[in-house]
Chain A
Amino acid sequence: MKSNSDLNNEQPITHEEIIRKELEIISEMKKHVHDTGELLPGLYTVSDSDMLPGYYPPRPDFGLMLRSLEDLLDYDKQREQDGFPRRIRLGKLVKPTRGNKSKVIVVPTSSEPKFYHDDSTTDDDEEQTGGSGEGEEGEVIGRKQAQPQEGEGEGQGAGQGEGGDHDVSSEAFDLGKILTERFHLPNLQNKGKKRAFSKYTYDLTDKNRGFGQLLDKKSTLKKIIETNILLGRINPKEPFDPTRLIIGPKDHVYRILSKEKDFETQAVVFFIRDYSGSMQGKPAESVSTLHLFIYSWLMYQYQNNVMTRFILHDTAAKEVPDFYTYYQSQVAGGTRVAPSFQMALDIIKKENLASDYNIYIFYGTDGDDWDNDGKELKEALGELIPLCNRIGITVAKNAWGGSSDTTVEKNINDSGFLQKYPKNIRMDSFKSEEAGEERIIESIKKLVSET
C-alpha cells in the first residue's frame, strides 16, 4: 500500500500528512535540543573535567569526533609530500541481489601493512577447512560456481563479524564524492526540468504492539500462546482449547505505517563493455574499474537517482541486469562493436528515454573490432550523439598491441565525430599496463569534463 505523498508535488496535502509532517518536525526538534543542551554550562554541568587543566571532557558522541573524509584525504595527501605511501584507497562493496538491483557502495578503505604470513602460497596442495556430518571420504559435499553467476554471491550477513584479516582490497564509502571533490571532476548540468531528488513512500513494514493499522495475525497468535504458557494455562503435554485462552492487552501485534525513502531517476547511464576473448587481465580490469568509478561519480552527482543499464558484447550484444554480472562476465568470443551501440540506441528509442533523462554512454574496449571499416558503428553513433549528453569511449590497449591506433580508434577518428561534437563524444586511450588509479582518474576527467 503506497500513498501519494510526494510533498513537492502540486497535489493538495492530506490531513494525515500534515500531522505526520508535524510529528517529524517535533522529533527533529527534540534531537536538536538534546545535541546542544550538553554544551551549555550550568550549575551541575561543569565538573573537574571541564575546569581542571589536563582533564578532557568525556566525549558524548564518537561520531562527532570523526574527522571528515576530506580531512582524512588531506592528511593522506600530506603523506605523499612527507615521502610515505598513501594509505587511503578507493574500495568498492558489491552486494549482488536478484534482479537488476545489485548495490554497489564505494568507500574509502585503508590497509595496515604489517608482516603477515601469506597463506596463498604454501606447499600444501590445497586450501582446507573443517566440516561435519555424514559422508564418505572423497565424497563431494558442495559445489560453487567458479565465477559467480547472476544473482549469486555472498549472502546476507557477510558484513557481520567478518574477519577481513588484512584483506588487500577491502572497501569503503562514497567514491563519487571523493572523485568530485578531490579529483576535481566537473559537476553536471541539470537537464532543465526541475525534479524532486527524493520522495517518501509509506508502507506497512514496522511492527508495533498494542495499536496500529493492520493486525498481524500470526505474530499475535504467537504472543497469545506465549502469554498463556507463562500463565500456565497451556500444558505442553496436552492439547488445549483455543477458545479458553486469555488474551493480554499487549498481545496484539500490528503493522504500522512507516516512512521509506524512495528515489526518482534523473539520468540513464549505459555502460557498455567488450567482453570478448581478448578482454582479459589488465584491459578488462582497467575498463571495469573505470566504469565503476564513473558509476559512483554519477551516483553522487545525481544523489543515487541514476538508472543504469549494462550491455556486454562480443560479436553480439547482450544486456545484463546488474553491475555485478557486468563486472564479472567473460566469454571467449570474437569482437564486433557496432551491435552494442545499436542495442543502446534501440533501448533509448523503444523506451523513449531521451525525452526525460540525461543519457550517458560509457564504452570500454581493448580497441579490437572485426568490422574493419566500422560502417555500422558510425551509423549507430551518428544517431546516438544527438540523443546523449555524453558518450565516453575508453580504449585500454593490450600490451601486445603496439603503439599504433587500434581499429576502434581508427574508426572513431575517421568518423570525424570527435571534432564535430566535442561536447558529446570523447575518447581516451591508454596502455592498460600503465593504468594505475591516477591514470584512470585522468581518463575519467577527459571523458566527462565540460571543456
Chain B
Amino acid sequence: MYLIDQHTKKIMEECKERARAAGLSFDKETLEYIVTNKDLLELSPKVMIPTLYDYWLYDVEVLKEYGKYKLYPSNPYETVINSRPAISFYNDNNPDWLNIMIFYHVLAHIDFFQNNRLFEHTWNDDFVGVALADKREIEGYRREHGRWADYIIEFSRSIDNITGYFHSLAGLNYPYHLEPDEKLNYYFNTFMPDVLGKSDSDISKEIDRYNRILAVSGDHAAEVFFAEVRQKYPEFTAELEKYERDESPWHDVLLFIRDHSPFMRKPENQWMKSIVTIVHNTAQYFAPQIRSKIANEGWASYWHDNLFRTDDRIKGFESDYARINAGVTSLNRIGLNPYAIGLRLYEYVEDLAEKGKLSWQFEKILNREKRDSFNLKTGKGKETIFGIRQNFSDFMFINTFVDQDFVDLHNLFVVGKRMDEQKGVVEYYIKSRKAEDYKKMLLDSLYHPPHITVSKELTTDKRLYLVHHFEGKQLYQGYIPDVLVGLEYLWGAEVKLQTTEIVAQKENNEVTGYTYRDVLYSCKNKKVTKAIAKDE
C-alpha cells in the first residue's frame, strides 16, 4: 500500500479543479493509495477501513476471500472511504485516461459523503483516526480479558444492524441544552410528588431552596443540591435510574442493554460498556452508506460521465471510455443496477426541473401533448439535483421521482420469475410496466432491517423482553437462537423475543395461502425455546 506517484496526483488535482468549477464541493485534501488485490481482499471485511478494530471473524472472512479470489480473480477499479481526508484505493495498472474517469467518479462520491445530510454525523471526525483509537482500546481490553472481549464484540455486533440510526440522525441538531435538566425535572415533577408523596407547598419550598443554591453556586448548583438530596433520600439514585429506563423517550436495543444490563452494571464488567459503545458507533458510521447506494452511485456516475466527456483529455480514448462507461451504467435486461438507475433518475429530475415540470402548474395539465411540450426554461436543473444530493436518501429519491414517465422513458419493467415444471426451467417474464409496481419493487428491494424494540413494561433485571414489530416479513429463523444466546450473556438473565411467523398453508404440497402467528422465543441458560401464542 503506497501513495500514488506525483504524475497521477497531478492528474487528480486537475480533476479536482474542474469538479469544483462544475459545482462539486469537497475538502481540499485527499489521499490516494495504490493497493494490490491482496490488500483489497484483506481490507474488505473491515469495510475498507484499515484501522478498524480487529475481530477474529474478519480473519476467517479474509481466508474465505482468498479462496474466492482463486476461483474468480478480479480487478476492482477503486474504492473510496468516507474519512478526513477522504481516502481512495486504486489498482496500479490503470492508464491515465481511465484514472481521470475514476477520479471524477471518486470526487463525486467524496462530494456526496461531505454534503449529503445522511452523513452529517460523520462530518466532524476522521473515522480512520477514531477507529484507530477504538482499536487500541479494544486491544487493551483483549489483553486484559482475553477472548471475553471478543465475545462482547460478537454479541454487540449481533444487533448492530438495528441501532436506531434515523433516531440519532434526527437528534443531531436538536437543541438539547434548551431542555430542562432531566434530573431536576424528575426530582421536582415525579420523585417528590409520586415517590415521596409531598404536597405542592413542600415542593415549592424545595424549589426555593434550589434557587437559593443556584444564586450562590451558579454552575455547580445541581451538584451541590443533589449531594444533599442523596443524603436525605438514599433511594433517589436507584429511582432515577429506573425512571430513565422506563420513561426516557427512545433507546435502541444495543444502548438500552449497555445502560441497563444488570450484568454490565457490575463494577468488574464496566469495561464491556466501552466495547458496546464502539460497536454501536461503528455501525452508526456505516449506516448511511447502505441507505444511499442508488443516490450515491448515481451521483458519481452522473459526474464522471459529464465531467469526463467534456474533458479534453478524453481525446483518443472515446471508444474505450464508452465501453467502460456502458459496463458501469447500462440498464440490465434482467436485474437492478444502482449506478444505472441512479444516473437516469438524476438526469430525469434535472430535465424536469430545467423545464419547470416539478410544479403544480405542470401537474394539473392532463393533455399529453401539452405535457410533452411544457417548458418554462427555468434553468434550475443543476440546482435541483444538487438539492437531492444534499437531502435525499434512496427511499426518498425513488419514492418521490419514479413515475410512469420515467418508467416509460427507459423502458423499465418489473420482472417476474416462475417455474415451468414441465420444461424444468425457471422463466423470467415481463410482469408489469406500471410505475406503481416498479416503484414498489424498487422500494421492496431497498435495505431495511427489522424493527425491534425493548418492551420496558415487561423488562426487569431478571428478563430482557424484545418485541419485533412485524412489517410483512418474518425474521430469519436460523439466526434467532444464536443472537438470543449472545444477548442473554450481555443482559445476564433470560431474554425473550416476541415475533411473528408466516406459515404457509399447504394442500397436497401446493401452497394455498399464508397465515401469521405470534411466537415467543425464550432463551435461558443458553437454551432457546419457542412457544406459539394461542389464538385469541
Residues of A bordering B, CB below 8 Å: 54, 56, 62-63, 65-67, 69, 72, 75, 78, 82-85, 87-88, 91, 93, 95, 103, 105-119, 121-124, 126-147, 156-161, 166, 168, 170-174, 226, 229-230
Contact = CB atoms under 8 A, between A and B. Distances in A.
B71 A128 contact: no
A78 B69 CA distance: 29
A76 B514 CA distance: 39
B168 interface: no
Given A126-B418, A229-B315, A133 B71 contact: no
Contacts of B419: 146
A140 B429 contact: yes
A136 B468 CA distance: 41
B412 A131 contact: yes
Contacts of B412: 130-132
A114 B70 contact: no
Interface string B380-418: 000000000000000000000000000000111111111
Contacts, number: 262
9 contacts: A63-B42, A66-B63, A67-B56, A115-B452, A130-B413, A137-B430, A145-B426, A172-B60, A173-B63
A123 B514 CA distance: 6
Contacts of B62: 66
A117 B161 CA distance: 11
Contacts of B59: 66-67, 72
Interface in B43-69: 43, 50, 54, 56-57, 59-64, 66-69
B432 interface: yes
B413 A62 contact: no
Nearest to B414: A128
Contact of B483 (A103, A115, A172): A115
Given A56-B136, A158-B72, A173-B66, A132 B331 contact: yes
B430 to A, nearest CB: 5
B162 interface: yes
B72 A160 contact: yes
Given A62-B43, A110-B60, A144-B426, A126 B416 contact: yes
Nearest to B157: A112
Nearest to A95: B71
B504 A121 contact: yes
Lowest 10 A-B CB distances belong to which pairs?
A: A159-B72, A113-B479, A107-B67, A113-B482, A172-B64, A132-B331, A142-B428, A160-B74, A229-B316, A117-B473
B70 A144 contact: no
A73 B63 CA distance: 12
Nearest to A67: B59
A161 B68 CA distance: 11
A130 B70 contact: no
Given A72-B60, A107-B66, A159-B68, 11 more contacts: A62-B43, A109-B64, A114-B161, A124-B444, A128-B417, A128-B441, A131-B333, A131-B335, A132-B412, A159-B69, A168-B478
B24 interface: no
B332 interface: yes
B433 A137 contact: yes
A145 B160 CA distance: 38
Given A130-B441, A172-B60, A226 B316 contact: yes
B376 interface: no
B441 A129 contact: yes
Nearest to B135: A56
Interface string B148-163: 0011001001111110
A166 B514 contact: no
Interface in B469-497: 472-480, 482-483, 485-486
A174 B526 CA distance: 32
A132 B332 contact: yes
A34 B11 CA distance: 30
B68 A115 contact: no
Interface residues of B, number: 97
Contact of B151 (A84, A122, A229): A84
Nearest to A69: B63
A354 to B, nearest CB: 32
B449 interface: yes
Contacts of A130: 332, 335-336, 341, 412-415, 438, 441-442, 445
Contact of B162 (A115, A127, A161): A115
Contact of B411 (A63, A133, A142, A174): A133
B448 interface: yes
A93 B68 contact: yes
A135 B477 CA distance: 39
Given A62-B39, A130-B414, A95 B72 contact: yes
Nearest to B335: A129
B428 A140 contact: yes
A136 B482 CA distance: 47
Contacts of B60: 72, 87-88, 108-110, 172
A67 B62 CA distance: 10
B10 interface: no
Contacts of A85: 482, 485
Interface in B439-463: 441-442, 444-445, 448-450, 452
Contacts of A66: 42, 59, 62-63
A117 B475 contact: yes
A251 to B, nearest CB: 13
